[in-house]
Chains A and B, each alone.
Chain A
Amino acid sequence: MSDSNKIIDQAVGSEYKWGFYTELENDTAPPGLSEDTVRFISARKEEPEWMLEWRLKAFRTWQQMSEPDWAHVQYPKISYQDIIYYSAPRKGPKYNSLDEVDPEILDTFNKLGISLEEQKVLAGVAVDAVIDSISVKTTFREKLSELGIIFCSMSEAIREYPELVRQYLGSVVPVRDNYFAALNCAVFSDGSFVYIPKGVRCPMELSTYFRINAINTGQFERTLIVADEGSYVSYLEGCTAPMRDENQLHAAVVELVALRDAEIKYSTVQNWYPGNKEGKGGIYNFVTKRGICKGDNSKISWTQVETGSAVTWKYPSVILKGNNSTGEFYSVALTNNFQQADTGTKMIHLGRNTRSTIVSKGISAGKSNNSYRGLVKIGREAEGARNFSQCDSLLIGSTCGAHTFPYIECDNPTARVEHEATTSKIAEDQLFYCNQRGIDTEKAVSLIVNGYCKEVFNQLPMEFAVEAQKLLSISLEGSVG
């Protein structure tokens, strides 16, 4: 059998190693979605009246909308009345020690180089007993609050910082922006809230790991990050560790606001259950992520490494409103087996001398489909705007697909928009060359894939980049013989 045939076979044969069941606690809303469900959620979260009103308005808006079907993905129709929209975060230990956790999961953690304490948190071992991580969390919080940085759960922010939340929530992704965003507005469970005050440079990467309850925020996550004038923050979402989740539909909303001279760097590594090798199960990940460079000279940078989910539909975007503002999008999307990804970005140039960079690297293996969809829009006022887009596709085997849908709308004659695209395959003679030098095919594929993604990995914070590389190797593990 030729190498490439083997790759396909083995790729299709490789299974998600981290699938499992977890039992839900009983504090759960009945299935279905109505105004009562929205009231139930809001009441459970002890939200103020204005928040409930906001959610109800969103729910009524959502009811009038219909599910979009333009993405290059196929999935069975979602029955919104069969979904459970609220279940309380698990209380108490699921496991008493790491010894009870599936050794394969632990093995993966070790491969990713995750610390023991962190492993306990991720595997759902009772963390109340973990003194270290509690103290880490406390010192961490103290340090941030000294600088006036707010980093808490969205529920907490709604209660503690209502003015900030009311000012910015829904200001970047309006309620009626799209079907899934409207749904999120009505029923969002929790998420992160970050506020960086004027002139403050956040001294550490903010990661959800430090806010332990964020790990179980459920399927409708809501995140809002506001960087006030002249501030800087780097935020890490997710984790390279396997993401356990029993919810099929995920519809998160992330909003970023960068004021004058501020910079936000948002990095995601997503590794949700992609479904089994027949393409059954797996997470539908329909996310709306958008940032606005509101003030002059501001900058927003999205970096994502996506290897999970059965269906991904995600376009982290930047509205470049401030003059001289900068938007960046760096993406690696790997699909295997029957995974489908339709992902890309939108760069909306409104201000003068705004610039944007798009680097998208798609990797398809197995019978998967990987699409890049990007919009570069140059508004009438955007004098001297510049965009550079590069979309590369790498195919492993011959039963997968890669598609590129670039859209350019330019209303200003002084703008410069460049688009480059390539499609390549890992050739058998490349693999043989590596083999002859002592590198087995699996490592060779990983070497080539990581080399191909280097531009994007370089954008990730150092430790995250190392984890992302390992993650790609693990996702391709067993994909070749």
Chain B
Amino acid sequence: MLTIKNLHASINGKEILKGINLEIAAGEVHAIMGPNGSGKSTLSSVLAGKEDYEITAGEVIFRGKDLLELSPEERAGEGIFLAFQYPVEIPGVSMTNFMRTAVNEVRAYRGLEALDAKAFLTLSKEKQALVELDKKLAGRSVNEGFSGGEKKRNEIYQMAMLNPYLAILDETDSGLDIDALRIVSEGVNKLKSAENAFLVITHYQRLLDYIVPDFVHVLYDGRIVKTGPKELALALEEKGYDHIKKEVEA
């Protein structure tokens, strides 16, 4: 589904990603862990198409297409979804209006007819229930006045609505209490299928107790320095990143 080859990216002339190689197949869950500043969020931004980054080398193929050639909205249409670490507020734009626009834009990109109001609301209700999102939030402006937990659940709700092939969860666990973490993870698990894949970016092992990865990658200084099964996350938790750093630098 996704093939990243020797990806280099920099911002303001400073190289952050220094040759990422990663292969994700449909039905898989990959976790990316790593210390602060290792390039985790840069990787998710680059995959989603944030313009601030300059791609200096490498390629990214997503479902047969050159991802780096596509605009962020085209990538969304192709089925890339990024659950933001810090979802932004958009005052004045109701969540319902926003989501309906997004769903219908993505449908249009895929050559599907727009959902009418009724079909949209039915779908929306179903997906809100998935992450136990308060119905009242749909009438509010996008993320405005949402608690930290509500924002993250709202991201997963949007993911459910857009039904992506590849969902990137950028530190979705940060700022979540244990109940919210459970709700978010259960939402993700219900959405998992043989057709889609997840890239879960996290600092901590605890999210991976709920969303069990098939592979764990350790990102350090812009490179994936270690890949292993889910047990690798536990080892990291125990020994810390310093252990990896020493290994790499040795």
Contact surface of A with B, Cβ cutoff 8 Å: 1-3, 424, 427, 429-430, 432-441, 443, 447-448, 450-454
CB of B76 closer than 8 Å to a CB of A: yes
Known contacts being A451-B94, A451-B97, is A435 close to B88, with CB within 8 Å?
no
Q: State A436–B82 Cα separation when bound (angstroms).
A: 7
CB of A97, distance to nearest CB on chain B (Å): 33
CB neighbours (8 Å) of B81 from chain A are 436
**Contact B91–A451 (Cβ < 8 Å):** yes
**Contact B77–A452 (Cβ < 8 Å):** no
Give chain B interface residues in 131-187, CB to chain A under 8 Å.
Answer: 141-142, 158, 162
CB neighbours (8 Å) of B77 from chain A are 438
CB of B102 closer than 8 Å to a CB of A: yes
The residue on B at minimum CB distance from A451 is B92
CB of B84, distance to nearest CB on chain A (Å): 7
Q: A433-B87, A438-B76 are in contact. List 19 more A-B contacts (CB 8 A).
A: A2-B51, A432-B50, A432-B51, A432-B72, A435-B72, A436-B72, A436-B73, A436-B75, A436-B82, A437-B105, A437-B158, A439-B101, A439-B105, A440-B73, A447-B97, A451-B92, A451-B93, A451-B94, A452-B92
The residue on A at minimum CB distance from B94 is A451
Q: Which of B71, B75, B88, B101 is in CB contact (< 8 Å) with A443?
A: B101
**Contact A435–B73 (Cβ < 8 Å):** yes
CB neighbours (8 Å) of A441 from chain B are 73
CB of A442, distance to nearest CB on chain B (Å): 10
The residue on B at minimum CB distance from A441 is B73
**Contact B90–A433 (Cβ < 8 Å):** yes
Q: State A190–B82 Cα separation when bound (angstroms).
A: 58
**Contact B94–A435 (Cβ < 8 Å):** no
Number of B residues contacting the other chain (C-beta, 8 Å)? 32
Q: State A463–B162 Cα separation when bound (angstroms).
A: 31
Q: State A402–B87 Cα separation when bound (angstroms).
A: 28
CB neighbours (8 Å) of A1 from chain B are 51
Listed A/B pairs (21) with beta-carbon separation below 8 Å: A1-B51, A3-B51, A429-B88, A433-B84, A433-B88, A433-B142, A435-B76, A436-B48, A436-B49, A436-B76, A436-B81, A436-B82, A437-B76, A437-B162, A441-B73, A443-B105, A448-B90, A448-B92, A450-B92, A451-B91, A452-B92
**Contact B73–A430 (Cβ < 8 Å):** no
CB of B29, distance to nearest CB on chain A (Å): 21
Q: State A429–B77 Cα separation when bound (angstroms).
A: 19
Q: State A424–B144 Cα separation when bound (angstroms).
A: 15
**Contact B105–A430 (Cβ < 8 Å):** no
CB neighbours (8 Å) of B162 from chain A are 437-438
Known contacts being A429-B88, A438-B105, A438-B106, is A451 close to B141, with CB within 8 Å?
yes
CB of B65, distance to nearest CB on chain A (Å): 16
Q: Which of B71, B73, B101, B109 is in CB contact (< 8 Å) with A447?
A: B101
CB neighbours (8 Å) of A451 from chain B are 90-94, 97, 141
The residue on A at minimum CB distance from B104 is A438
Q: State A440–B75 Cα separation when bound (angstroms).
A: 11
CB of A333, distance to nearest CB on chain B (Å): 16
CB neighbours (8 Å) of B76 from chain A are 435-438
CB of B43, distance to nearest CB on chain A (Å): 15
Q: State A101–B48 Cα separation when bound (angstroms).
A: 44
Q: Which of A3, A429, A440 is in CB contact (< 8 Å) with B105?
A: A440
**Contact B109–A438 (Cβ < 8 Å):** yes
Q: State A433–B50 Cα separation when bound (angstroms).
A: 10
**Contact A438–B97 (Cβ < 8 Å):** no
The residue on A at minimum CB distance from B105 is A438
Q: State A454–B82 Cα separation when bound (angstroms).
A: 29
CB neighbours (8 Å) of A448 from chain B are 90, 92-93
Q: State A143–B90 Cα separation when bound (angstroms).
A: 46
